[in-house]
Amino acid sequence: MAGQHTLDETERQVQARLGDLKIDFEAMAVTSNLFRAANAVRNYLERTVLAEHDLSWTAFVVLWVVWIWEPVESRVIAEEGGFSKATLTGVMQTLEGRGLITRTRSSKDGRLVLVKLTAKGRKMMKQLFPEFNKGERLALADLKRSDLGSFADLLRAVTLTVDAQKTN
């Protein structure tokens, strides 16, 4: 991936199609590379670590959130994972069918559903997460260690900015 065309070529082509319209090429480069990177890492981890456990990316994220915060409400999982409630329902049905999680309606608030891992789910995560983390480390192996902190901060800032837009 990473594109066979250089950034300069791309800018020239865009400008040629838009005349002298002002375009923010730096913003374009950031978002474009943001998705390339996210896609690349996701596909890589899905094909390697997660495939061995027959898990999709989203299924893993759900398991991870529940593993850390159980018992946890559905809405929290969706929020932490960054996907919709509709998506979550489907994924949790799959995971429940495989005996990895349980769902129970809250007795305090009949609207809420509380999610926990089963013993099987916990056992899987205890083995899987270290493998997953090793994959994460490999995906970032060529970056300078000292850059990781500010890198994470920049990414966090993007999420915060967009979420602020959303509520307006």
Binding site for DNA (CB under 7 A): 39, 43, 46-47, 56-59, 73-75, 78, 82-94, 103, 108-113
Distance in Å, CB of 137 to DNA, minimum: 21
Nearest to 88 by CA among 110, 115, 70: 115
Which residue, 86 or 97, has its beta carbon nearer to a second copy? 86
Buried b (16+ CB within 10 A) or exposed e, 2-27: eeeeeeeeeeeeeeeeeeeeeeeeee
Exactly one of 51, 52, 109, 155 binds a second copy (CB under 8 A); which one?
155
Return the DSSP state at 143. S
57, exposed or middle or buried, with CB in 10 Å at 0-12, 13-18, 19+? middle
- Please, what is the minimum distance in Å from the beta carbon of residue 39 to DNA? 6
Asked if 44 contacts 119 with a C-beta cutoff of 8 angstroms, the reply is: no
128 binds, among DNA, a second copy, none (CB under 5 to 8 A by kind): none
Alpha helix (H) residue ranges in the chain: 7-18, 25-45, 51-52, 57-69, 74-81, 85-97, 119-139, 148-166
d(CA 134, CA 86): 31
* Residue 91 or 117 with smaller CB distance to DNA: 91
User: What's the min distance (Å) between Cβ of 103 and a second copy?
Assistant: 21
The mark string for 106-145 relative to a second copy (x by CB under 8 A, - otherwise) is ----------------x--xx--xx--x--xxxxxxxx-x
Binding mask 27-66 for a second copy (x = CB under 8 A): xxxxx-xxxxxxxxxxxx----------------x-----
For the bound state, the minimum distance from the C-beta of residue 1 to DNA, rounded and expressed in Å, comes to 11
